[in-house]
Chains A and B, each alone.
Chain A
Amino acid sequence: RKEVEQDPGPFNVPEGATVAFNCTYSNSASQSFFWYRQDCRKEPKLLMSVYSSGNEDGRFTAQLNRASQYISLLIRDSKLSDSATYLCVVPWANQAGTALIFGKGTTLSVSS
């Protein structure tokens, strides 16, 4: 299994829809996980951190399933402004220090 895998999409949904993205990871020792958002030709920005079983922030919910080694991101009541690429991020198992490994991203397009 690759370190981080995501469904690339694209996910095309209407405004108001609920959409969920999944991400699987291979490093069973990972303790913390992240979802980043990246708009076209911009730098990634932190959306949510996931340290335990899950985390909720307004319309966004991130869940972690350690046994199955996957993370999910749920977006409720989608807005046009949610259109972006969502990157799943996990710690990279390495010896010299700690870095983050990014999934290839899932593209979301919300239409009116």
Chain B
Amino acid sequence: NAGVTQTPKFRVLKTGQSMTLLCAQDMNHEYMYWYRQDPGMGLRLIHYSVGEGTTAKGEVPDGYNVSRLKKQNFLLGLESAAPSQTSVYFCAARDSNYGYTFGSGTRLTVV
């Protein structure tokens, strides 16, 4: 049972490039989330989804888009990467008792 899997684990992008981060869960959880973590800033919520086909904005949504076409997958897209988006990105899925299960993170550097 893998839980939450994020791909890729590392990526370097040039400014202006686009990419998609994939989050996959095998726990059949309804809720999924994307956070970013920066030094001194803690984890900040980017977007989240309360079920297949739904998405909602979090605290810092600008510059990102998401899609939840299938219940098990939650995609985070960067259409035109900026150096300010250099960060560690964590995906999480939530169970009925509120606890989050996190993926192991994606370390993204935009140069």
Determine if B74 is an interface residue (Cβ-Cβ < 8 Å).
Answer: no
Interface positions, chain B 58-99, Cβ under 8 Å from A, are 58-59, 90, 97-99
For this complex, 9 residue pairs linking A to B, each with C-beta atoms less than 8 Å apart, are A32-B98, A42-B104, A43-B102, A43-B103, A44-B43, A91-B98, A99-B33, A99-B45, A105-B42
**Please, how many angstroms separate the alpha-carbon atoms of A41 and B106 in the complex?**
11
**Please, how many angstroms separate the alpha-carbon atoms of A35 and B45 in the complex?**
17
Chain A 49-81: CB-based contact to B (< 8 A → 1; otherwise 0): 100000000000000000000000000000000
Give the interface size bracket for A toward B. Answer: 20 to 34
Using Cβ atoms and an 8 Å threshold, which residues of chain B touch A104? 40-42
Determine if A46 is an interface residue (Cβ-Cβ < 8 Å).
Answer: yes
Interface centre among A36, A42, A43 (most CB of B within 10 A): A43
Tell me how far the C-beta of B42 lies from the nearest C-beta in chain A, rounded to whole angstroms.
4
Chain A 80-112: CB-based contact to B (< 8 A → 1; otherwise 0): 000000010001101011111111110000000
Interface centre among B50, B100, B104 (most CB of A within 10 A): B100
Interface positions, chain B 10-61, Cβ under 8 Å from A, are 31, 33, 35, 40-45, 48, 50, 54, 56, 58-59
Give chain A's interface residues, CB within 8 Å of chain B: 32, 34, 36, 41-46, 49, 87, 91-92, 94, 96-105
Q: Is the CB of A44 within 8 A of B104?
A: no
**Please, how many angstroms separate the alpha-carbon atoms of A41 and B35 in the complex?**
14
Q: Is the CB of A100 within 8 A of B100?
A: yes
Tell me how far the C-beta of A47 lies from the nearest C-beta in chain B, rounded to whole angstroms.
10
Using Cβ atoms and an 8 Å threshold, which residues of chain B touch A100? 33, 45, 98, 100
Q: Is the CB of A87 within 8 A of B42?
A: yes
Known: A96-B56, A97-B50, A102-B43. A43 touches B99 (CB 8 A): no
**Please, how many angstroms separate the alpha-carbon atoms of A36 and B43 in the complex?**
12
Pick from B42, B48, B54, B99: contact of A102, CB under 8 Å: B42
Known: A43-B105, A45-B102, A46-B99. A97 touches B42 (CB 8 A): no
Known: A97-B48, A99-B33, A104-B41. A34 touches B102 (CB 8 A): no
